[in-house]
Every structure is written in C-alpha cells, then in structure tokens.
C-alpha cells in the first residue's frame, strides 16, 4: 500500500462517518417531526376526509406501531446488520408518508399512519445505535447529545411546519414533505453504512415476536383507550389489558428458553440497563404524562390564550436540548450517577413547582418551571443512553438501545392514562378544574420521587474506565 493510500484512508473513513451521521440525523429529524407535525393539520384533514369520531387514531396508530416495533427493529439490526434494517425502516416510513398524503378517507389515513409509524420505530433506536458504533466514547457522547437535541427541535418545529404547509399548500404536504429529504437520507446511509451482515444465518424467534407484538399492542391499546375515556372499567379497556396480561407472561416464558430471543432478557441482569430502563420509564411516565395537562391548566385555570400556553413549552424543549448536549460532556468528566441524579432532582423540583400552581400563575413563572423540567430531562436521558451503550457487548447494542427508548415511550403513554384517570376521578368527586389538575401534578410528583430513587441505582462510572474500555472495544463495567 502506498503512502498516499495510507494517508487517504483515515480521511475517507472520517468522511464516511460524517455522511452516516448526516443520514441518521436527517432520518431522526423526520421521524420526530412526524410525531407532532400532524396536530395543526388535523382540523383541515377532518374537514376534507371526515371521520371525526375516529380521528384520534391518526395519532394513536402512529404511536402504537412505532413504540411496539422499537425493540424488534433494534434486535433485528443486531442479527442482520444496521444498514439493511435501517434502510428497510426508512422505506416503510416513506411509503407510509406517501400513502398518507394520498389518503381518501380517515380509515385509509389511519392505516397508512400506522405503516408510517412501523418504519419510524426503526429510525430513532437504530440511529442511536449506529452512532454508538461509529464513534469513540468522547465523540459518541457529543453526537448522542446533538441527536437528542435534533429530536427536541424537530418536535418543537413540527406544529409550526404543519401549520405553514396546511395554510399555504395543502394538508397532504404535511406527509409529502418527508419524501425528498427521506430519499436524501437513504442515499447517505446506503453509501456510508457498512453492508456487512452476520456470518451465520440468524434464528428468528417467531413465537416470541408474535407474543411480544400482541402483548404490547394490547397493553398500549388498553392504556390509550383508558386515557381517552378517562376510565379503566369499560370493555374497550379491560379486554385488551386482559390480552396483555396473558400474552406478556407467555412471552417472557418463551424468551427464557430460545437460542436468539427477540428481547434478550439477560440484558436486565445488567445493573446499568436495569437502572436506565426503570428511571427512563418512571421519568417518561411523570414528564410526558403531565406535560399534556400543562396547556390545559394555563388555558382553563389561568385564562391564557392557546398561543400563550403553547409558548410556555418552548423553554422546556430549550432546556432539554441544551442540557442534552452539556450532559453528554459532563459524563466524561464526573461519571453517570451525579449527572443523572442531578437531572432527576431538577425534574422533581419542577413537579414540586407544578403542584403549587394556582389561578394567579403568570406566564413567566410557568416558563421557569417548564425550563427546570426540560433541564431535568436533558440531564437524565442522554447520560443513561451512553451508559447503556458502554455497558453491553456490541452484539446486543441495538436491542439495549431500543429498549431504553421503548421504556421511556411506554412510560409516557401509561402516565398520560393514569393522570387522565386521576383528573376524571377528582372532577367526578366535585373538584374544580384547578383542584383536579393539582391532583394530576401531585401524582406526577410522586412518580418523579420514585424515579429519583431509582436513579441512585445508576452506577457512578469513571471517565478513565470508560475511555480504557472504549479503546479496547469492550463493554464498560460501570461501578463493578
């Protein structure tokens, strides 16, 4: 090999990594935006397609399929390689986008949104996994922080972009806008990602796949219906929950004895994975459950306009994005536990302030409290992801990364249903709107205290140990 080739090889490798990172970030931006962009377009969609009685499933269907498939995509990428699975997910997402834009009635739109969600479930977890493989520890920490920031910015811009497209073009462009950018992302990823596959043919656990899909789908359907009806006693809630109660234990029984499980249960024997899953679930349950009720309090109790109440959440996203970037660097200096616990302290403080809200609440005070909550989430989520990726072998990297995303999302869905039930219970008992929402925020505070307790399970993790393990290509044994 010539000297020129030796010199060019590192430059070509760096270029490949940058192309892959650009493709990942663009894909994640599209998936994150799609989870919120539809909200402002829905009044025009209902006017065009009808189906008001089922329109909420435009959101729920996307959430259901994207959440259920997260662990499955992650595991499949471990078995078949990142490139083919990521590109498959992206193709499904773009196909769902194109079909959603062409939908002729609400039933079609819901079905195509579920297809879109099926693909979206691959983009965030596999994207995070790809970054975990491409970069060494220090750069990986920075990139994971940036990607978390991209997710937050896209979620914030989604409603604005949806409104602009709906007003100045058509609601159908809310979906079509994904296509040109998605094709660019596919080109980048196809060129930059390694096409290597497993040396041997993987054994697919079809029984576990079916039981997991049925159990988690039934659980989420029951929870989503409970959240909509603000009650847990109807057949449309109890029946899917009963199916989940049968399917999920059967799934765990199957996974214990198969050769290549869809969800490797051995991961939960890892202290880092267990702590991250528990803390992420509880933090997601508290924050994403309560955040839906913040605009309601501001409008129904404090008398703010819809625009003013929406602007209160901007500091929340800003705090999350800024602290995601900062926390990724902090873990390299002071370790995981201090950063994660500090984040949970901030989140708990935010809920304590929320529980003290009154009708005289000002917009400034509400924005301050939202900012503290965003800071807490930013300090918590990225460090836990980095810890998990450093604590598992490469063969389980996709499964572990996707499970952390999965637990946080499921926690948010369950939190929303639980807090909706609390509000309905208080209103049914004759409480005012302010009193009912106070009970919601107190419930969030109690959940947050449990999350704070679980954050102490996160091992300390020293930067020196992380760097040495990362150089060896080994999983980090954090905190023994």
3-state secondary structure 355-378: CCCCCCCCHHHHHHHHHHHHHHHH
Q: Say what the pLDDT of residue 196 is.
A: 60
What band does 246 get if pLDDT is binned at 50, 70 and 90? very high
Mean per-residue pLDDT, 371-399: 87
* Superfamily (CATH H level) for 1-195: MFS general substrate transporter like domains (1.20.1250.20)
Round to whole Å and give the CA distance between 445 and 286. 7
DSSP 40: G
pLDDT in tens, 344-357: 999 999 999 999 99
**Of 29-43, 60-74, 238-252, 280-294, which one has max mean pLDDT?**
238-252
Round to whole Å and give the CA distance between 75 and 262. 6
What band does 109 get if pLDDT is binned at 50, 70 and 90? very high
Q: Say what the pLDDT of residue 477 is.
A: 40
Q: Which residue has the tokens 């499933």?
A: 57
Round to whole Å and give the CA distance between 279 and 397. 19
pLDDT in tens, 250-286: 999 998 888 888 888 888 888 888 999 999 899 988 8
The CATH number fitting domain 266-480, selected from 1.20.1250.20, 1.10.1840.10, 2.160.10.10, 1.20.950.20: 1.20.1250.20
- Say if CB 378 and CB 324 are below 8 A apart: yes
* pLDDT of 472 higher than 50: no
User: What proportions of the chain, in percent to the nearest 5, are helix, strand and coil?
Assistant: 80, 0, 20
459 dihedral zone (left: phi>0; alpha: psi -120 to 50; beta): beta
CA neighbor of 143 nearest in space, from 158, 155, 123, 129: 129
Mean per-residue pLDDT, 238-261: 90
102-106, 136-140, 195-199, 407-411: segment of lowest average pLDDT: 195-199
Q: Say what the pLDDT of residue 200 is.
A: 60
Mean of the per-residue pLDDT values of the chain: 83
Q: Say what the pLDDT of residue 99 is.
A: 95
What band does 480 get if pLDDT is binned at 50, 70 and 90? very low
Q: Torsions phi, psi of 306, nearest 5?
A: -65, -40
Q: Say what the pLDDT of residue 346 is.
A: 95
* pLDDT of 149 higher than 80: no
24-33, 36-45, 84-93, 437-446: segment of lowest average pLDDT: 36-45
CB atoms within 10 A of CB 269: 9
Mean per-residue pLDDT, 431-454: 91
Q: Say what the pLDDT of residue 2 is.
A: 57
pTM recorded for the entire structure = 0.81
* pLDDT of 475 higher than 50: no
Token digits for 119? 């693909």
Token digits for 378? 């930013």
Q: What's the residue count for the chain? A: 480
Question: Which helix H or strand E contains 350, and what residues bound it?
Answer: helix 336-354
pLDDT in tens, 154-207: 877 777 788 788 888 888 998 999 999 999 999 999 888 876 655 567 777 888
51-65, 182-196, 213-227: segment of lowest average pLDDT: 51-65
User: 354-357 — which CB contacts under 8 Å span 24+ positions?
Assistant: 354/290, 354/294, 354/441, 354/444, 354/445, 355/438, 355/441, 355/442, 355/444, 355/445, 357/297, 357/301, 357/302, 357/437, 357/438, 357/441
Token digits for 384? 């836990």
* pLDDT of 22 higher than 80: yes
CA neighbor of 36 nearest in space, from 2, 62, 9, 11: 62
Round to whole Å and give the CA distance between 89 and 205. 20
- Say if CB 444 and CB 350 are below 8 A apart: no
Mean per-residue pLDDT, 115-131: 89
């Amino acid at each position: 090999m010539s000297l020129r080739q030796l010199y060019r090889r590192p430059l070509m490798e760096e270029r490949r990594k940058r192309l892959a990172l650009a493709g990942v970030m663009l894909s994640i931006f599209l998936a994150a935006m799609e989870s919120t962009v539809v909200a402002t377009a829905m009044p025009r969609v209902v006017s065009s397609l009808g189906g008001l009685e089922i329109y909420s499933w435009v959101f729920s269907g996307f959430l259901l399929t994207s959440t259920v498939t997260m662990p499955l995509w992650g595991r499949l990428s471990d078995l078949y390689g990142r490139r083919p699975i990521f590109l498959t997910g992206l193709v499904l997402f773009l196909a769902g986008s194109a079909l959603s834009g062409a939908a002729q009635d609400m039933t079609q739109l819901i079905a195509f949104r579920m297809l879109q969600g099926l693909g979206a479930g691959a983009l965030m977890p596999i994207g995070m996994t790809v970054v975990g493989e491409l970069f060494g520890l220090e750069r990986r920490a920075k990139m994971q922080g940036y990607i978390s920031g991209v997710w937050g910015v896209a979620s914030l811009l989604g409603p604005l972009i949806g409104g602009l497209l709906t007003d100045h073009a058509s609601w159908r462009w809310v979906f079509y806008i994904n296509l040109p950018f998605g094709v660019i992302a596919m080109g980048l990823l196809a060129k930059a990602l390694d096409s290597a596959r497993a040396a041997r043919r993987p054994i697919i656990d079809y029984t576990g796949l079916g039981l997991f899909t049925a159990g988690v789908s039934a659980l989420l359907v029951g929870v989503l219906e409970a959240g909509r009806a603000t009650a847990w006693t109807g057949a449309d809630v109890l029946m899917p929950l009963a199916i989940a109660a049968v399917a999920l234990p059967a799934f765990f029984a199957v996974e214990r004895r198969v050769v290549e499980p869809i969800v490797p249960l051995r991961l939960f024997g890892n202290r880092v994975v267990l702590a991250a899953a528990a803390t992420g679930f509880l933090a997601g349950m508290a924050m994403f459950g309560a955040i839906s009720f913040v605009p309601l309090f501001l409008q129904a109790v404090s008398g703010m306009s819809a625009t003013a109440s929406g602007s209160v959440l901007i500091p929340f996203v800003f705090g999350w994005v800024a602290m995601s970037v900062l926390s990724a660097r902090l873990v390299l200096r002071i370790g995981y536990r201090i950063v994660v616990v500090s984040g949970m302290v901030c989140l708990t403080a935010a809920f304590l302030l929320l529980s003290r809200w009154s009708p005289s609440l000002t917009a400034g005070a509400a924005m301050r409290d939202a900012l503290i909550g965003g800071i807490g989430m930013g300090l918590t989520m990225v460090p836990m992801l980095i810890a998990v990726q450093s604590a598992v072998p490469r063969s389980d990297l996709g499964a572990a990364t996707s499970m952390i995303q999965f637990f946080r999302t499921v926690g948010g869905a369950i939190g929303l249903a639980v807090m909706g039930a609390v509000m309905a219970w208080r209103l049914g008992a004759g409480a005012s709107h302010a009193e009912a929402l106070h009970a919601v925020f107190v419930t969030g505070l109690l959940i947050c205290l449990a999350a704070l307790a679980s954050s102490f399970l996160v091992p300390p993790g020293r930067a020196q140990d992380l760097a040495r393990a990362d150089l060896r290509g080994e999983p980090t044994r954090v905190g023994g």
